[in-house]
């Protein structure tokens, strides 16, 4: 019962647990969800599908394979960097709450 009262009076935070869930939603859910959302948009709206197909055809006819591979590598590198920054932000937030808990414990002794 004391834990519930601590939760209601903001002496105990749920943020570290919620932060873990938000991290995984952002790190895994957003890229995968975006991929499925783009596919859904392409299937639902025929004009988007037509634009996609014509731009794909034009891109393949106007660029070299080397340039396309460079684009894919740069995109993967960008995605990797964004995932690292996402991880650093959440590590900072979790460390903040851990420091807060230690400081509260030191203040009570």
Answer yes or no: is 6 within a domain: no
Answer yes or no: is 7 within a domain: no
Distance separating alpha carbons of residues 80 and 25, to the nearest angstrom = 16
Q: So what's the pLDDT on residue 18? A: 86
pLDDT digits (tens, 9 = 90+) for 14-66: 777 888 899 999 999 999 999 999 999 999 999 999 999 999 999 999 999 99
Answer yes or no: is 85 within a domain: yes
* 87 pLDDT above the threshold of 90: yes
Packing angle between helix 15-24 and helix 65-108, nearest 10 degrees?
Answer: 170
pLDDT: which is higher, 74 or 19:
74
Exposure string of 47-80, with b = 16+ CB inside 10 Å and e = fewer, is eeeeeeeeeeeeeeeeeeeeeeeeeeeeeeeeee
CB 48 within 8 A of CB 41: yes
Distance separating alpha carbons of residues 29 and 86, to the nearest angstrom = 13
Mean pLDDT of the chain: 90
Answer yes or no: is 36 within a domain: yes
Answer yes or no: is 4 within a domain: no
- Residues of the chain with pLDDT > 90, as a percent, come to 62
Q: So what's the pLDDT on residue 13? A: 72
Q: What is the pTM of this model?
A: 0.73
Count the domains in the chain.
Answer: 1
Answer yes or no: is 24 within a domain: yes
Answer yes or no: is 1 within a domain: no
Range of the structural domain that residue 61 is part of: 13-108
Answer yes or no: is 87 within a domain: yes
Q: So what's the pLDDT on residue 24? A: 92
């Amino acid at each position: 019962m004391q834990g519930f009262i601590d939760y209601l009076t903001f002496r105990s935070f749920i943020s570290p647990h919620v932060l873990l869930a938000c991290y995984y939603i952002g790190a895994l859910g957003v890229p995968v969800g975006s991929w499925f959302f783009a596919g859904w948009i392409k299937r639902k709206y025929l004009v988007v599908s037509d634009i996609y197909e014509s731009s794909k055809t034009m891109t393949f006819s106007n660029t070299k394979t080397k340039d396309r591979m460079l684009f894919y590598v740069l995109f993967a590198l960008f995605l990797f960097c964004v995932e690292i920054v996402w991880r650093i932000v959440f590590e900072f937030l979790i460390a903040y709450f851990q420091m807060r808990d230690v400081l509260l414990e030191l203040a009570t002794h």
